[in-house]
Structure 1
Amino acid sequence: MQTSDFFDGLVGGADPALVSEAAERAAQLLVRGAHDSDDREVAGRLLHLAEVEGLETLADLWSGAPADSLAGCLWRLYVLRAWVHASPQLAAAQFEAGRATAQVARVVAGVADPPGPDQVRTMIDTVLTGISESAFADVLLRAAAFARVISVGRAHLHSADARPMLVLSEQLETAAHQELAVGLA
């Protein structure tokens, strides 16, 4: 039989509750602190956070967060940006295929016409820099609109499953409305 001293001396992994709390606090500081900052370099640091820290690190922090939380929204925004930067030609083709049917979402997304690879990369980067420069709900609505057009494009092209992008769009839009109503935590 081991005494309590034995168990007190064991070093285990990080406490999941503490990791979750730290992740939520980091998301809060990134979103709310960036918007209130006078530092002009904040937008650039936010934009390149996944590249500097690694998408895997952000996944460890935020991938399990609910879609209607700041941490969950940040995770979804960074994943969307990573996909666009990894596959800009595909993103542009899917956006092009969906923009005629999803007119309102196309306008809200704000991709230049015609939507080529450079234009979709520029748009998604503008969305992320908006975290420090715009209302967070606007950031979420633009990203949601972009994802909606992509999902429609995927459906038209029959080239990829449209459901994950549609779900992402709906999650971001729901979070944006919650942000407008009571603010995300």
Structure 2
Amino acid sequence: MSEFHRPVRRPSASFDNLAGSASAAERSRVAHATAAALVSRARADESGTSTERLIAFTDEHGIDEIAELWSGAPAVSLPGALWRLYLLQLAIHRDAQTAALLYERGRVELPTVDAAVAGAPAPASPEELVVLIDAILRGAFRGDFAVALERAAAFCRVQASGATHVADDYEATEPARASELTTRALRLSTYARDLASCANAWRAGILT
């Protein structure tokens, strides 16, 4: 599942000119401080300019700078939540066609309200999924942060279901592809759990 691996390409510009430190404690401090500062700044900017810049960042510069800041943060933390949101965004932008295929299969197979919570059209085109994930990220910076995380978690559960069922389809004829999809499903399920826990922690006022 290479689309969730870090990093993917070297950005030419810095992410607010912030970089990691050789010290683990300092890296943790920087991760939490930058995540809090970025969320706070985006929410304070009524024009929405900061939010749009943050949404477009990975398309313009890749994900290395974000990885340097947030990829080592605990799963249930503000930087951990933002890191997972950016990974989801990157995965969909890079291969919206596959994302749409898995999402639609999951929507049909999953007997839960997750598809409704995620908020994609039914069926969703690749372009509509790109719009959806950008809207979820926009909601994290400008709307109800917990709701954005819950939508992202629901999206992950739908895609995980789709990946699992498509993997079953490939098992007999293309076992390597089936294994790849099973790994993807597991990772998406893990992200769903992490993001849901982050949403609960945010509502409890303890997500930092």
- TM-score category by the smaller chain? 0.7 to 0.9
- Give the TM-score of the pair, scaled to structure 1: 0.87
CA gap of 1:102–1:35, structure 2 versus 1, over 3 A, is: farther
CA gap of 1:80–1:102, structure 2 versus 1, over 3 A, is: farther
The answer for the alignment partner of 2:144 in structure 1 is 135
Which of 106, 118, 134 pairs up with 2:127?
Answer: 118
Q: Give structure 2 stretches of 5+ with no counterpart.
A: 1-20, 168-177
Which of 81, 85, 89 pairs up with 2:89?
Answer: 81
Distance 2:136 2:161 in 1: 20
Which of 170, 174, 189 pairs up with 1:166?
Answer: 189
Note the C-alpha offset of 1:102: 4.3
Q: Is the counterpart of residue 64 in structure 1 residue 64 in structure 2?
A: no
| C-alpha RMSD over aligned residues | 1.5
The answer for the alignment partner of 1:42 in structure 2 is 50
* Maintained 8 Å contact 1:141/1:172: yes
CA gap of 1:183–1:136, structure 2 versus 1, over 3 A, is: farther
Distance 1:177 1:102 in 2: 23
The answer for the alignment partner of 2:6 in structure 1 is none
Note the C-alpha offset of 1:70: 0.6
Residue identity in the other structure for 2:24: P
Q: Is the counterpart of residue 32 in structure 1 residue 55 in structure 2?
A: no
Shifted more, 106-115 versus 30-39: the winner is: 30-39
* Maintained 8 Å contact 2:99/2:126: yes
Identity of aligned residues (%): 36
Distance 1:177 1:90 in 2: 30
* Maintained 8 Å contact 1:102/1:148: no
Distance 2:187 2:42 in 1: 29
Note the C-alpha offset of 1:57: 1.4
Q: Is the counterpart of residue 146 in structure 1 residue 155 in structure 2?
A: yes
Distance 2:72 2:147 in 1: 23
1:62-91 deviation line (CA, Å, top 9, x unaligned): 111011111001110001100001110100
* Maintained 8 Å contact 1:109/1:143: yes
Residue identity in the other structure for 1:92: A
Task: Report the 3-state secondary structure (helix = DSSP H, G, I; strand = E; otherwise coil) of the residue aligned with 1:48.
Answer: helix
How many residue pairs get aligned? The number is 173
The answer for the alignment partner of 2:118 in structure 1 is 109
